[in-house]
Structure 1
Amino acid sequence: MHKFEEKTTKTESIFQGKVISLQVDDVLLPDGNEAKRELIKHPGAVCVIAITDEKKIILVEQYRKALERPLVEVPAGKLEAGEEPSYCAERELEEETGYRPGSITHIQSFYTSPGFADELVHVFLAEGLKKVEGGLVADEDEFVELMEVTLSEAEQLAKDERIFDAKTLWALQYIRSNGLA
């Protein structure tokens, strides 16, 4: 037992959706007091840092309802039940961009908001990209626009707050730090 561990005494399921579920846990704190924790359960996700042979970064722009605005992001998506993250990364890259990777490498995994959610994002680097005609089709409720940009163009998108999510900002730092574009 960790010295800061909170022991769950009761879990109440509040909502079970297509992507997430919400529960409220009653917990016993390390000092003996009780508290409630509102928790979002998520199956996990992937994001893909995709770089063309011309050193362009593959991004997609899509509307994000939670923010009521479009964002420019690295290709990403939710893991399906039992799906391997590397397979999901290849699938999402093809669905959203029409590219297949020659190679795909796991770089890092991180939790997005551990204060209230268990979403774990697996970051992959896709290289040796090949454009696929008639490849996988995007989800029926997903509308994305493909962008191929230089690192300096991507950094300007971040300054303009068109790139404004943690996974994509992390990806840009990784690209710059490793001289990928």
Structure 2
Amino acid sequence: MRSSPHSERDPLEEVELESRSVYDGVLLKVRQDRVVLPDGAESVREYVCHPGAVVVIAVLPDGSLLFERQFRYPLRRAFLELPAGKIDAGEELLGCAQRELREETGYEAGAWLYVGVMHPCIGYSDERIEVFFARDLIHVGDALDDGEFLEVLSLQPQDAIAAIFDGRITDAKTITALFRAMPLLGWNIVPAETVPGV
């Protein structure tokens, strides 16, 4: 049972009876659990175990935001997204954010702020993505991992929002991170004129 014995149990909680490994890959692991449902019946839950990741909203001196285009194999196309990457075993969250920003974009930041966490695929994965805000950027040169290919570009915040609404940005972590960073970027609400049909 995953819940703490000292906490009040959620009436919707599903309690693990047994868990087994179905697949153990380089990045992802898949488990199949037998659980007890809230009504006492039993069921099966299959889910992907992920080490977690970070995403960075990085603001350049001119107020534009750093983005990258990267080919994502499962969907067989390149996506426009914020810098992000997997948390290595034992790695501190801030250290991971700093490393990923440097490796992928060639920038280091003088100021960092932790924004929060998002869970991108709650129906089938335990993945979490930690959101960071970075400013006071200095370009020091990139250091991409072997086999990693991407293009770095910048967008003004209003252009990033427009790209969400016109479908150029569909990546969930990017959309969520930008939404979470709205107060830090000086946005109160999304202007109605950017929403199609309004």
**Which sections of structure 1, spanning at least 5 residues, go unmatched?**
none
Structure 2, unmatched stretches of 5+, are 1-8, 188-198
> What is the aligned counterpart of 1:165 among 167, 171, 180?
171
1:164 maps to amino acid = T
Taking only the aligned residue pairs, the percentage that are identical comes to 37
CA offset at residue 50 of structure 1? 0.1
- Secondary structure at the residue paired with 2:75? coil
CA RMSD of aligned residues (A): 1.6
1:104 aligns with 2:108: no
1:114-129 to 2 correspondences below 5 Å: 114-129=122-137
Bigger shift: residues 158-167 or 22-31:
158-167
Q: Residue 27 of structure 1 corresponds to which residue in structure 2? A: 35
**In the TM superposition, what is the alpha-carbon distance from 1:15 to its structure 2 partner?**
0.8
Q: Which has the larger radius of gyration?
A: 2
User: 1:83 aligned to 2:101?
Assistant: no
Higher relative contact order (CA 8 A, sep 6+): 1
- The answer for the alignment partner of 1:43 in structure 2 is 51
Shift of 1:2: 2.5
* Residue in 2 that maps onto 1:6: 14
Given the two structures, how large is their TM-score scaled by the length of structure 1? 0.92
Partner of 1:179: 185
Alignment length (residue pairs): 179
What do residues 15-55 of structure 1 show as CA deviations (whole Å, max 9, x unaligned)? 11121100110111121111000111111100000001100
Q: Which portions of structure 1, spanning 4 or more consecutive aligned residues, are displaced by more than 4 angstroms?
A: none
CA displacement at 1:112 relative to structure 2: 1.4
Amino acid at match of 1:144: L
SS of the equivalent of 2:90 reads: coil
